[in-house]
Amino acid sequence: MAGIDLIHRSAEKLLDNFCHHRVVRPERPRGRLTWERLKDGYQLVEQSFDGRRLRQDAIARFIYLPELRQWTLHQQTQDHWQFCTNVSPNLNLQKLLDFVDADPFGQFWR
């Protein structure tokens, strides 16, 4: 159990750093990035305030598979989440964060 705790502490530091340094989309000047803990990983969320209400848009999910000791990236489709086939599972969560940041196929920052 201590090993999994270390993995999650490390992931949370990476997510904190990513959310702190990534510039939110210009059309959402009152926005910020944050993350939420899920049962089996994390969800990256963009929050913005339109003057009347807080809007929260899920950007990506990072799911940890203990049997593989790897992170997988998931993207939201119209009504569900699915495994992102454009990037392989990875031991290093930072690699998946970099993929989301670059968004080479326009899957995340629409």
pLDDT digits (tens, 9 = 90+) for 68-84: 999 999 999 888 999 99
Q: Does residue 95 lie in a domain region?
A: yes
Q: Does residue 108 lie in a domain region?
A: no
Q: Does residue 110 lie in a domain region?
A: no
pLDDT digits (tens, 9 = 90+) for 17-40: 999 988 666 665 567 899 999 999
CATH of the domain at 31: 3.30.310
Query: What gap in Å lies between CA 41 and CA 9, rounded to an integer?
Result: 12
Higher pLDDT, 52 or 72: 72
Q: Does residue 109 lie in a domain region?
A: no
Q: Does residue 11 lie in a domain region?
A: yes
Helices (H), the chain: 2-21, 93-102
Range of the domain at 25: 2-102
DSSP secondary structure string, 7-21?
Answer: HHHHHHHHHHHHHHH
The Cα-based distances of 109 to 52, 59, 62, 65 in angstroms read 23, 7, 16, 25
Q: Does residue 107 lie in a domain region?
A: no
Number of domains forming the structure of the chain: 1
This prediction has a pTM of 0.89
CA atoms within 13 A on the CB side of 25: 13
Q: Does residue 29 lie in a domain region?
A: yes
